[in-house]
A = this chain, B = another copy of it.
Amino acid sequence: MAQPTSAAGKTAITPRRDEDFPEWYQQVIRAAEMAEASDVRGSMVIRPWGYGIWENMQRQLDAKFKATGHRNAYFPLFIPLGYFAKEAEHVEGFAKECAVVTHTRLEINAEGKMVPGSPLTEPLVVRPTSETIIGASYAKWVQSYRDLPILLNQWCNIVRWEMRPRIFLRTTEFLWQEGHTVHETEAEAREETRRMLDVYEEFARDHVALPVFHGEKSESERFPGAVQTLCIEAMVQDRKAIQAGTSHFLGQNFSRASGIQFQTRDGKQEFGWTTSWGMTTRMIGTLIMTHADDDGLVLPPRIAPTHVVIIPITPKEETRAAVLEAADKLAAQLRAQSYAGAPIEVDVDRRDVGGGVKSWEWIKKGVPIRVEIGPRDLESGSVAVSRRDQPVKTKEFLKTEEFVRQAAGLLVAIQQNLLARATEFRDANTRTIDSKDDFYAFFTPKNSAKPEIHGGFALTHWDGSRGVEEQIKNDLKVTIRCIPFDDPANPPEPGTCPFTGNPSARRVIWAKAY
C-alpha cells in the first residue's frame, strides 16, 4: 500500500488496507459517516459528510462547465420504452439494468394486501442515461445550423440495476452529471468530446488530487451506441483501475435515432453530431480508495467540507470559557483568510466530550488540518497543529498568528502532497511489459489470500483484436483501460503484440478494474 500505517500496529480502521482492502474500504466509509447501504437493494444513503464532498465536487465542476459555455437544464426521469428502444446498441447495452415503471397507483386487493393498481399502456424506463429522452427535445429545438451548438448539462439521479453493489463505486441509484451537446460538424463534436475529457482530467488532478491516464476505450468497452468513448482512469491503492469520467463522441447515431436534423449553411438537411459526457458519485469512491489510509479518510483540501477543525481542550471548568473564546477567535481569523478563492471553512468542535475522542473522529473524517487549543496554549499564545497527510501523532506547535498566516499555504501543501503521493504510487506500479509470460506473472497474485497484490498497470502492445482482449479478460480479469492518445511531441512506438506476434501500432494500458 502507498502510505505507512500510522502507529505500531494500532490503527483507527480495522482491518488495515493490507489485511482486507474491500472490507477496509467499507470501514473507512462507515467511520467517516459518509454513506451506508439502504434497505433498498443496491441503493445507498449519502450522509451529510459524504454529501458535503459531493456538493463541493458539483460546485467546482459546474463552474468549469459554465466556463466552457455550457448551461444546466433538467429532463424527465422517465423514458417511454419506445424512445429508449430507438438506438439498437444502446437499448441492448442497458436492457439488463433497467428499472421499469408499469403501474401508476397502489390499491388494496381482494386479500386486503396493497398492490400496484392502474397499469400503464406503455411502460416507462427509469433513466439509466438520458441520450434518448434529451434527443427528443433536441429534435424539436434544432431546425437550422443557427440553432447549433446546443451545449447543455444536467445534474440528476440515475438508475442501473446492480447485482453486486459496492457503495459509491457501483450502486443501483447514483448521482451524476450528464452533458449532452449537438454540433454542426463532426470536427466540432470531436473537439467537444476531447475538451470535456480535459475538463475531467483537470478536475481530477487539481481538485481531487487524482493523477489519471487518459485515452480512448477499445470497442468492447465503449458506451453503447457511441462511435468513440474517451476516458480518464485512476489507479487506487489495491493497484486496480477506476474509470473516473467518460466523454463520448456519438457521431450521428443518436441524432438519427431521435431525428435531430438541421438545415446546413448550403440549404441541405443533415443530422446533428452529438456528444455526451458524465462524472458520478463514483468519484467519491475513487477518492477514498486513492487517499484514505489505515486511520480513515484523507481529504484533498479542495473538496473537503471542512478545512480546519479546532478542538478546544477544556480539562478544567475554570479555564473552559477562555479556551472556547480563544477557539472562536481563531476560527474567525481563519475564516477571514482565503483558500482557493473562498474563505477557509472552519469548524469548532464544542461538544462536551474528551479531546482524544474528538480528534479521532476528525481523523477518520479526513479533515486536512486539526488544531488543538488548551489552557497552556493560551498562556504561550500557540496552538498544536496536525496535518492529516502526516502520521496522526505528529503535532507542530505554532504561534497562533503564525498559524493563521500559514493556514492557506498549508492547505495548498497538503493538496500538492496528496497528488504527489498518488502519482508516485501509480508510477511505481505501472510497468512496461513485452512478453506474455511477464504479463501473466504481473497480474497473478503471489499469495492467493491477497488477490489485491498483483502488479498494477501494464503498458503492453496489442494487435487490436477483440480475441486477445477476451482471452486476457477470461484468464486474468484484466482489460484494456485505455488506448493512449497520439502525442505529436512523443509519438507512439510501433511494436509487436506479445500475445499473437502480430504488429501493434502502440502500447495500451491494461489493468484489473472496478
Contact = CB atoms under 8 A, between A and B. Distances in A.
A48 B76 contact: no
Interface in A37-78: 38-40, 43-48, 51-52, 54-55, 71-78
A44 to B, nearest CB: 8
Interface string A95-129: 11111111111110000001111000001111000
Contact of A116 (B44, B48, B80, B100): B100
Interface string A113-149: 0111100000111100000010011000000000000
B48 A157 contact: no
Given A48-B152, A73-B46, A105 B114 contact: no
B80 A40 contact: yes
B71 A95 contact: no
A404 interface: no
Given A77-B159, A137-B38, A71 B97 contact: no
A175 B40 contact: no
A80 B45 contact: no
A433 interface: no
B161 A75 contact: no
A54 B74 CA distance: 10
A103 B100 contact: yes
Contacts of A136: 38-39
Contacts of A101: 99-102, 126
B99 A71 contact: no
A285 to B, nearest CB: 15
B78 A106 contact: no
Contacts of A124: 40, 99
Interface string A149-176: 0001000110101000000000001010
A83 interface: yes
A85 interface: yes
A98 B123 CA distance: 14
A91 interface: yes
Contacts of A117: 95, 100
B105 A103 contact: no
B73 A105 contact: no
A72 B51 contact: yes
A81 interface: yes
Contact of A104 (B44, B81, B99): B99
B100 A81 contact: no
Contacts of A104: 97-100, 161
A105 B100 CA distance: 7
Nearest to A134: B45
A106 B125 contact: yes
Contacts of A51: 71-74
A74 B78 CA distance: 20
A105 B98 contact: yes
A351 to B, nearest CB: 9
Contacts of A46: 73-75
B173 A76 contact: yes
A439 B98 CA distance: 54
Contacts of A52: 71-72
B97 A105 contact: yes
B76 A47 contact: no
Question: Top 6 nearest A-B pairs by Cβ distance?
Answer: A43-B76, A48-B71, A46-B74, A95-B106, A100-B103, A100-B116
Given A46-B73, A78-B99, A103-B123, 14 more contacts: A40-B78, A40-B79, A40-B80, A45-B76, A51-B72, A51-B74, A84-B106, A91-B106, A96-B106, A98-B104, A99-B124, A100-B117, A104-B161, A126-B126
19 contacts: A36-B137, A38-B137, A39-B83, A45-B75, A48-B71, A48-B72, A76-B173, A77-B126, A77-B173, A81-B106, A85-B114, A91-B106, A96-B105, A96-B106, A99-B124, A100-B106, A102-B116, A106-B125, A115-B123
Interface of A: 36, 38-40, 43-48, 51-52, 54-55, 71-81, 83-85, 91, 95-107, 114-117, 123-126, 133, 136-137, 152, 156-157, 159, 161, 173, 175
